[in-house]
Structure 1
Protein backbone atom coordinates (compact mmCIF):
# COMPACT_ATOMS: atom_id res chain seq x y z
CA UNK A 1 0.00 0.00 0.00
CA UNK A 2 1.32 3.44 -0.85
CA UNK A 3 -0.01 6.16 1.41
CA UNK A 4 -2.88 5.64 3.79
CA UNK A 5 -6.39 6.00 2.37
CA UNK A 6 -9.10 7.87 4.23
CA UNK A 7 -10.89 4.51 4.64
CA UNK A 8 -7.87 2.93 6.29
CA UNK A 9 -7.59 5.95 8.60
CA UNK A 10 -11.28 5.52 9.50
CA UNK A 11 -10.64 1.88 10.34
CA UNK A 12 -7.69 2.76 12.55
CA UNK A 13 -9.77 5.37 14.37
CA UNK A 14 -12.59 2.88 14.88
CA UNK A 15 -10.13 0.23 16.01
CA UNK A 16 -8.90 2.68 18.64
CA UNK A 17 -12.48 3.26 19.83
CA UNK A 18 -13.21 -0.48 19.94
CA UNK A 19 -9.98 -1.08 21.85
CA UNK A 20 -10.93 1.56 24.43
CA UNK A 21 -14.39 0.02 24.88
CA UNK A 22 -12.97 -3.47 25.40
CA UNK A 23 -10.19 -2.18 27.68
CA UNK A 24 -12.69 -0.39 29.92
CA UNK A 25 -14.83 -3.48 30.41
CA UNK A 26 -11.82 -5.81 30.44
CA UNK A 27 -10.43 -3.86 33.37
CA UNK A 28 -13.61 -4.58 35.32
CA UNK A 29 -13.28 -8.26 34.45
CA UNK A 30 -9.71 -8.34 35.73
CA UNK A 31 -10.81 -6.68 38.94
CA UNK A 32 -13.53 -9.33 39.43
CA UNK A 33 -11.14 -12.13 38.48
CA UNK A 34 -11.47 -14.01 35.21
CA UNK A 35 -12.49 -17.66 35.51
CA UNK A 36 -9.98 -20.43 34.83
CA UNK A 37 -11.62 -22.30 31.98
CA UNK A 38 -8.89 -24.52 30.60
CA UNK A 39 -8.70 -24.38 26.84
CA UNK A 40 -10.89 -25.22 23.89
CA UNK A 41 -8.39 -25.55 21.01
CA UNK A 42 -10.86 -24.75 18.22
CA UNK A 43 -12.30 -21.74 20.07
CA UNK A 44 -8.78 -20.52 20.83
CA UNK A 45 -7.70 -20.94 17.19
CA UNK A 46 -10.75 -19.08 15.85
CA UNK A 47 -10.25 -16.26 18.36
CA UNK A 48 -6.58 -15.99 17.37
CA UNK A 49 -7.50 -15.88 13.67
CA UNK A 50 -10.13 -13.23 14.45
CA UNK A 51 -7.43 -11.24 16.23
CA UNK A 52 -5.23 -11.44 13.16
CA UNK A 53 -8.11 -10.14 11.05
CA UNK A 54 -9.10 -7.48 13.55
CA UNK A 55 -5.66 -6.12 14.39
CA UNK A 56 -2.53 -7.68 12.90
CA UNK A 57 -3.38 -7.77 9.19
CA UNK A 58 -5.06 -4.33 9.16
CA UNK A 59 -1.99 -2.82 10.84
CA UNK A 60 0.34 -4.57 8.36
CA UNK A 61 -1.83 -3.26 5.53
CA UNK A 62 -1.93 0.28 6.92
CA UNK A 63 1.76 0.68 7.73
CA UNK A 64 3.66 -1.63 5.37
CA UNK A 65 3.50 -2.88 1.78
CA UNK A 66 3.75 -6.57 2.81
CA UNK A 67 0.15 -7.32 1.81
CA UNK A 68 0.07 -5.17 -1.34
CA UNK A 69 -0.06 -8.30 -3.53
CA UNK A 70 -3.71 -8.69 -2.41
CA UNK A 71 -4.85 -5.07 -2.94
CA UNK A 72 -8.06 -4.33 -4.85
CA UNK A 73 -10.04 -1.19 -5.67
CA UNK A 74 -13.65 -0.38 -4.93
CA UNK A 75 -15.68 2.76 -5.61
CA UNK A 76 -15.69 5.30 -2.77
CA UNK A 77 -19.33 4.51 -2.08
CA UNK A 78 -18.12 1.12 -0.80
CA UNK A 79 -15.83 2.88 1.66
CA UNK A 80 -18.71 5.10 2.81
CA UNK A 81 -20.93 2.04 3.30
CA UNK A 82 -18.11 0.32 5.19
CA UNK A 83 -17.66 3.27 7.54
CA UNK A 84 -21.42 3.41 8.24
CA UNK A 85 -21.52 -0.35 8.97
CA UNK A 86 -18.40 -0.06 11.12
CA UNK A 87 -19.89 2.86 13.09
CA UNK A 88 -23.06 0.81 13.71
CA UNK A 89 -20.87 -2.10 14.84
CA UNK A 90 -18.98 0.09 17.30
CA UNK A 91 -22.17 1.58 18.75
CA UNK A 92 -23.63 -1.91 19.20
CA UNK A 93 -20.31 -3.17 20.61
CA UNK A 94 -20.32 -0.39 23.23
CA UNK A 95 -24.02 -0.75 24.04
CA UNK A 96 -23.68 -4.54 24.46
CA UNK A 97 -20.85 -4.08 26.95
CA UNK A 98 -22.70 -1.28 28.77
CA UNK A 99 -25.93 -3.29 29.07
CA UNK A 100 -24.11 -6.39 30.30
CA UNK A 101 -22.01 -4.42 32.79
CA UNK A 102 -20.42 -6.81 35.29
CA UNK A 103 -22.08 -9.76 33.56
CA UNK A 104 -19.74 -9.46 30.56
CA UNK A 105 -17.01 -12.02 29.99
CA UNK A 106 -15.11 -12.99 26.84
CA UNK A 107 -15.44 -16.62 27.93
CA UNK A 108 -18.35 -18.99 27.43
CA UNK A 109 -19.20 -19.24 31.13
CA UNK A 110 -21.74 -18.21 33.74
CA UNK A 111 -19.98 -16.77 36.76
CA UNK A 112 -21.34 -16.90 40.29
CA UNK A 113 -23.83 -14.12 40.92
CA UNK A 114 -24.35 -13.47 37.21
CA UNK A 115 -27.86 -12.35 36.35
CA UNK A 116 -29.84 -12.75 33.15
CA UNK A 117 -29.69 -9.47 31.20
CA UNK A 118 -32.82 -8.85 29.13
CA UNK A 119 -32.84 -5.05 28.87
CA UNK A 120 -31.22 -2.53 26.57
CA UNK A 121 -30.10 -4.07 23.29
CA UNK A 122 -30.71 -7.49 24.85
CA UNK A 123 -34.45 -6.76 24.93
CA UNK A 124 -34.75 -7.67 21.23
CA UNK A 125 -31.76 -9.91 20.43
CA UNK A 126 -29.82 -12.43 22.49
CA UNK A 127 -26.38 -11.95 20.94
CA UNK A 128 -25.89 -8.27 20.07
CA UNK A 129 -22.14 -8.45 20.74
CA UNK A 130 -21.76 -11.22 18.17
CA UNK A 131 -23.82 -9.13 15.77
CA UNK A 132 -21.43 -6.23 16.41
CA UNK A 133 -18.46 -8.48 15.56
CA UNK A 134 -20.18 -9.71 12.39
CA UNK A 135 -20.95 -6.13 11.30
CA UNK A 136 -17.34 -5.16 12.03
CA UNK A 137 -16.14 -8.08 9.92
CA UNK A 138 -18.56 -7.16 7.10
CA UNK A 139 -17.29 -3.58 7.12
CA UNK A 140 -13.63 -4.53 6.79
CA UNK A 141 -13.58 -5.60 3.11
CA UNK A 142 -15.35 -2.34 2.25
CA UNK A 143 -12.86 -0.22 4.19
CA UNK A 144 -9.58 -2.12 3.82
CA UNK A 145 -9.23 -2.85 0.12
CA UNK A 146 -7.02 -5.87 0.52
CA UNK A 147 -7.87 -9.56 0.17
CA UNK A 148 -5.98 -10.50 3.35
CA UNK A 149 -6.54 -7.51 5.65
CA UNK A 150 -10.14 -7.07 4.53
CA UNK A 151 -11.38 -10.64 4.69
CA UNK A 152 -9.51 -12.52 7.46
CA UNK A 153 -11.77 -11.37 10.29
CA UNK A 154 -14.93 -12.40 8.42
CA UNK A 155 -13.47 -15.83 7.63
CA UNK A 156 -12.77 -16.38 11.36
CA UNK A 157 -15.72 -14.62 13.00
CA UNK A 158 -18.50 -16.45 11.17
CA UNK A 159 -17.44 -19.94 12.34
CA UNK A 160 -16.61 -18.60 15.81
CA UNK A 161 -20.09 -17.08 16.20
CA UNK A 162 -21.78 -20.17 14.77
CA UNK A 163 -19.84 -22.33 17.22
CA UNK A 164 -20.33 -20.13 20.30
CA UNK A 165 -24.01 -19.17 20.06
CA UNK A 166 -25.47 -22.66 20.59
CA UNK A 167 -22.93 -23.42 23.34
CA UNK A 168 -23.81 -20.20 25.16
CA UNK A 169 -27.52 -20.79 24.81
CA UNK A 170 -27.24 -24.34 26.16
CA UNK A 171 -25.22 -23.02 29.10
CA UNK A 172 -27.74 -20.24 29.77
CA UNK A 173 -30.65 -22.70 29.61
CA UNK A 174 -28.83 -24.92 32.07
CA UNK A 175 -28.16 -22.03 34.45
CA UNK A 176 -31.31 -19.88 34.10
CA UNK A 177 -33.82 -22.56 33.03
CA UNK A 178 -37.33 -21.41 32.16
CA UNK A 179 -36.43 -17.72 32.47
CA UNK A 180 -33.97 -18.12 29.61
CA UNK A 181 -36.38 -20.31 27.62
CA UNK A 182 -39.02 -17.55 27.88
CA UNK A 183 -36.40 -14.97 26.88
CA UNK A 184 -35.50 -17.07 23.82
CA UNK A 185 -39.18 -17.26 22.83
CA UNK A 186 -39.48 -13.47 22.59
CA UNK A 187 -36.09 -12.58 21.08
CA UNK A 188 -34.08 -13.42 18.00
CA UNK A 189 -30.50 -14.64 18.06
CA UNK A 190 -28.96 -11.90 15.89
CA UNK A 191 -31.96 -9.98 14.56
CA UNK A 192 -35.21 -9.11 16.37
CA UNK A 193 -37.93 -11.73 16.21
CA UNK A 194 -40.83 -10.73 13.99
CA UNK A 195 -44.19 -10.37 15.76
CA UNK A 196 -46.45 -13.42 15.54
Structure 2
Protein backbone atom coordinates (compact mmCIF):
# COMPACT_ATOMS: atom_id res chain seq x y z
CA UNK A 1 0.00 0.00 0.00
CA UNK A 2 1.39 3.41 -0.94
CA UNK A 3 1.75 6.29 1.50
CA UNK A 4 -0.83 8.23 -0.55
CA UNK A 5 -3.43 5.47 -0.25
CA UNK A 6 -2.61 4.97 3.44
CA UNK A 7 -3.17 8.69 4.05
CA UNK A 8 -6.47 8.72 2.18
CA UNK A 9 -7.78 5.68 4.07
CA UNK A 10 -6.64 7.20 7.37
CA UNK A 11 -8.41 10.49 6.57
CA UNK A 12 -11.65 8.63 5.81
CA UNK A 13 -11.27 6.78 9.14
CA UNK A 14 -10.72 10.13 10.87
CA UNK A 15 -14.02 11.43 9.47
CA UNK A 16 -15.84 8.23 10.46
CA UNK A 17 -14.30 8.35 13.95
CA UNK A 18 -15.34 11.98 14.35
CA UNK A 19 -18.94 11.09 13.43
CA UNK A 20 -19.08 7.99 15.66
CA UNK A 21 -17.86 10.01 18.65
CA UNK A 22 -20.14 12.98 18.04
CA UNK A 23 -23.41 11.29 17.01
CA UNK A 24 -24.67 10.17 20.45
CA UNK A 25 -23.96 13.59 21.95
CA UNK A 26 -25.75 15.33 19.11
CA UNK A 27 -28.82 13.14 19.63
CA UNK A 28 -28.87 13.84 23.38
CA UNK A 29 -28.35 17.57 22.87
CA UNK A 30 -31.53 17.83 20.81
CA UNK A 31 -33.53 16.78 23.88
CA UNK A 32 -32.23 19.61 26.09
CA UNK A 33 -33.77 23.04 25.86
CA UNK A 34 -31.52 25.92 24.77
CA UNK A 35 -31.88 28.95 27.04
CA UNK A 36 -29.51 31.28 25.21
CA UNK A 37 -27.89 31.00 21.81
CA UNK A 38 -25.49 33.05 19.72
CA UNK A 39 -26.39 31.19 16.56
CA UNK A 40 -27.23 33.22 13.52
CA UNK A 41 -26.03 34.02 10.03
CA UNK A 42 -22.43 34.68 11.11
CA UNK A 43 -22.22 31.38 13.00
CA UNK A 44 -23.73 29.50 10.05
CA UNK A 45 -21.14 31.01 7.70
CA UNK A 46 -18.29 30.13 10.09
CA UNK A 47 -19.55 26.54 10.36
CA UNK A 48 -19.87 26.23 6.56
CA UNK A 49 -16.33 27.52 6.03
CA UNK A 50 -15.03 24.98 8.53
CA UNK A 51 -17.07 22.18 6.92
CA UNK A 52 -15.64 23.07 3.51
CA UNK A 53 -12.09 22.99 4.85
CA UNK A 54 -12.36 19.85 6.96
CA UNK A 55 -14.91 17.90 4.92
CA UNK A 56 -15.93 18.99 1.44
CA UNK A 57 -12.61 20.06 -0.10
CA UNK A 58 -10.59 17.10 1.25
CA UNK A 59 -13.45 14.76 0.37
CA UNK A 60 -13.27 15.92 -3.26
CA UNK A 61 -9.49 15.49 -3.27
CA UNK A 62 -9.76 11.97 -1.78
CA UNK A 63 -12.54 10.93 -4.17
CA UNK A 64 -11.23 12.47 -7.39
CA UNK A 65 -7.61 13.51 -6.93
CA UNK A 66 -8.56 16.99 -8.13
CA UNK A 67 -6.63 19.26 -8.25
CA UNK A 68 -3.83 16.87 -9.17
CA UNK A 69 -1.37 19.71 -9.81
CA UNK A 70 -1.38 20.41 -6.05
CA UNK A 71 -0.50 16.79 -5.18
CA UNK A 72 2.92 15.49 -4.19
CA UNK A 73 4.38 12.21 -2.96
CA UNK A 74 4.61 12.21 0.85
CA UNK A 75 7.39 10.60 2.86
CA UNK A 76 6.52 7.69 5.15
CA UNK A 77 7.53 9.94 8.07
CA UNK A 78 4.93 12.54 7.05
CA UNK A 79 2.22 9.88 6.84
CA UNK A 80 3.33 8.40 10.17
CA UNK A 81 3.11 11.81 11.83
CA UNK A 82 -0.33 12.22 10.29
CA UNK A 83 -1.43 8.91 11.81
CA UNK A 84 -0.15 10.00 15.24
CA UNK A 85 -1.98 13.33 14.92
CA UNK A 86 -5.15 11.45 13.88
CA UNK A 87 -5.04 9.21 16.96
CA UNK A 88 -4.31 12.13 19.28
CA UNK A 89 -7.12 14.20 17.75
CA UNK A 90 -9.73 11.45 18.13
CA UNK A 91 -8.67 10.63 21.71
CA UNK A 92 -8.86 14.31 22.64
CA UNK A 93 -12.17 14.67 20.81
CA UNK A 94 -13.61 11.76 22.82
CA UNK A 95 -12.26 13.08 26.14
CA UNK A 96 -13.79 16.47 25.40
CA UNK A 97 -17.22 15.04 24.62
CA UNK A 98 -17.09 12.79 27.69
CA UNK A 99 -16.23 15.71 29.98
CA UNK A 100 -18.95 17.94 28.51
CA UNK A 101 -21.65 15.28 28.74
CA UNK A 102 -25.07 16.97 28.79
CA UNK A 103 -23.52 20.42 28.40
CA UNK A 104 -22.27 19.63 24.86
CA UNK A 105 -23.51 21.77 21.99
CA UNK A 106 -22.47 22.00 18.36
CA UNK A 107 -22.74 25.77 18.49
CA UNK A 108 -22.70 28.70 20.88
CA UNK A 109 -25.56 27.60 23.15
CA UNK A 110 -26.31 27.77 26.83
CA UNK A 111 -28.54 24.84 27.78
CA UNK A 112 -31.18 24.59 30.47
CA UNK A 113 -29.43 24.21 33.86
CA UNK A 114 -26.09 24.72 32.17
CA UNK A 115 -23.05 24.21 34.36
CA UNK A 116 -19.49 25.36 33.74
CA UNK A 117 -17.47 22.24 32.93
CA UNK A 118 -14.04 22.28 34.59
CA UNK A 119 -13.46 18.55 35.04
CA UNK A 120 -11.64 15.99 32.93
CA UNK A 121 -9.65 17.50 30.09
CA UNK A 122 -11.21 20.89 30.95
CA UNK A 123 -9.06 21.03 34.10
CA UNK A 124 -6.11 21.81 31.85
CA UNK A 125 -7.53 23.61 28.80
CA UNK A 126 -10.58 25.82 28.26
CA UNK A 127 -11.13 24.77 24.65
CA UNK A 128 -9.92 21.18 24.15
CA UNK A 129 -12.51 20.69 21.41
CA UNK A 130 -10.73 23.38 19.39
CA UNK A 131 -7.38 21.74 20.18
CA UNK A 132 -8.81 18.48 18.81
CA UNK A 133 -10.00 20.21 15.63
CA UNK A 134 -6.64 21.97 15.13
CA UNK A 135 -5.01 18.56 15.47
CA UNK A 136 -7.49 17.08 12.98
CA UNK A 137 -6.63 19.86 10.52
CA UNK A 138 -2.93 19.11 11.03
CA UNK A 139 -3.57 15.37 10.55
CA UNK A 140 -5.43 16.18 7.32
CA UNK A 141 -2.52 18.29 6.05
CA UNK A 142 -0.09 15.45 6.80
CA UNK A 143 -2.26 12.58 5.54
CA UNK A 144 -3.49 14.12 2.30
CA UNK A 145 -0.46 15.06 0.19
CA UNK A 146 -2.27 17.78 -1.69
CA UNK A 147 -1.60 21.44 -0.94
CA UNK A 148 -5.24 22.40 -1.49
CA UNK A 149 -6.61 19.70 0.85
CA UNK A 150 -3.91 20.35 3.44
CA UNK A 151 -4.38 24.10 3.56
CA UNK A 152 -8.18 23.85 3.34
CA UNK A 153 -8.45 22.26 6.78
CA UNK A 154 -6.11 24.74 8.46
CA UNK A 155 -7.75 27.75 6.80
CA UNK A 156 -11.32 26.47 7.15
CA UNK A 157 -11.08 25.56 10.81
CA UNK A 158 -8.79 28.52 11.53
CA UNK A 159 -11.48 30.87 10.22
CA UNK A 160 -14.08 29.30 12.51
CA UNK A 161 -11.76 29.35 15.51
CA UNK A 162 -10.49 32.93 15.25
CA UNK A 163 -13.96 34.35 14.57
CA UNK A 164 -15.70 32.26 17.24
CA UNK A 165 -13.46 31.89 20.29
CA UNK A 166 -13.86 35.53 21.40
CA UNK A 167 -17.68 35.54 21.30
CA UNK A 168 -17.73 32.13 22.98
CA UNK A 169 -15.57 33.31 25.88
CA UNK A 170 -17.66 36.48 26.20
CA UNK A 171 -20.83 34.35 26.37
CA UNK A 172 -19.29 32.13 29.06
CA UNK A 173 -18.19 35.15 31.09
CA UNK A 174 -21.64 36.72 30.79
CA UNK A 175 -23.30 33.47 31.88
CA UNK A 176 -20.93 32.34 34.65
CA UNK A 177 -19.32 35.63 35.74
CA UNK A 178 -16.54 35.33 38.33
CA UNK A 179 -16.63 31.53 38.17
CA UNK A 180 -15.58 31.70 34.51
CA UNK A 181 -13.07 34.52 35.06
CA UNK A 182 -11.35 32.45 37.78
CA UNK A 183 -11.39 29.37 35.54
CA UNK A 184 -9.99 31.36 32.60
CA UNK A 185 -7.19 32.76 34.76
CA UNK A 186 -5.95 29.28 35.73
CA UNK A 187 -6.26 27.48 32.37
CA UNK A 188 -4.72 27.79 28.93
CA UNK A 189 -6.92 28.35 25.92
CA UNK A 190 -5.60 25.46 23.75
CA UNK A 191 -2.24 24.07 24.93
CA UNK A 192 -1.48 23.65 28.66
CA UNK A 193 1.26 26.03 29.82
CA UNK A 194 1.69 27.59 26.36
CA UNK A 195 -1.48 29.20 24.98
Tell me the TM-score normalized by structure 2: 0.90
Change (3 A) 1:180 1:37: closer
The residue aligned with 1:75 is 75
Change (3 A) 1:3 1:133: closer
1:44 and 2:51 are equivalent in the alignment:
no
- State the secondary structure of the residue aligned to 1:189: coil
1:91 and 2:91 are equivalent in the alignment:
yes
> What does 1:107-146 correspond to in 2, within 5 Å?
107-146=107-146
Q: Is the 8 A contact 1:4 1:62 kept in 2?
A: no
Q: Is the 8 A contact 1:109 1:168 kept in 2?
A: no
Change (3 A) 1:39 1:25: closer
Which stretch has the larger CA shift, 105-114 or 131-140?
105-114
Aligned residues: 193
Post-superposition Cα deviations, 1:47-84, rounded to whole Å, max 9, x if no partner, equal: 11211222222222222233223212221101110110
> What does 1:23-38 correspond to in 2, within 5 Å?
23-33=23-33, 37=37
* d(CA) in 2 for partners of 1:35, 1:181: 21
Change (3 A) 1:39 1:103: closer
Q: Is the 8 A contact 1:186 1:193 kept in 2?
A: no
* d(CA) in 2 for partners of 1:125, 1:30: 26
Structure 1 unaligned runs (5+)? Answer: none
The residue aligned with 2:175 is 175
The residue aligned with 1:166 is 166
Post-superposition Cα deviations, 1:160-193, rounded to whole Å, max 9, x if no partner, equal: 1122212111111111111111111111111123
Tell me the TM-score normalized by structure 1: 0.89
* d(CA) in 1 for partners of 2:145, 2:33: 40
Change (3 A) 1:87 1:4: same
Q: Is the 8 A contact 2:81 2:142 kept in 1?
A: yes
Structure 1 stretches of 4+ moved >4 Å: 33-39
Q: Is the 8 A contact 1:61 1:149 kept in 2?
A: yes
Post-superposition Cα deviations, 1:83-121, rounded to whole Å, max 9, x if no partner, equal: 101211111111101100010111112222010110000
* d(CA) in 2 for partners of 1:71, 1:38: 39
Structure 2 unaligned runs (5+)? Answer: none
1:152 and 2:152 are equivalent in the alignment:
yes
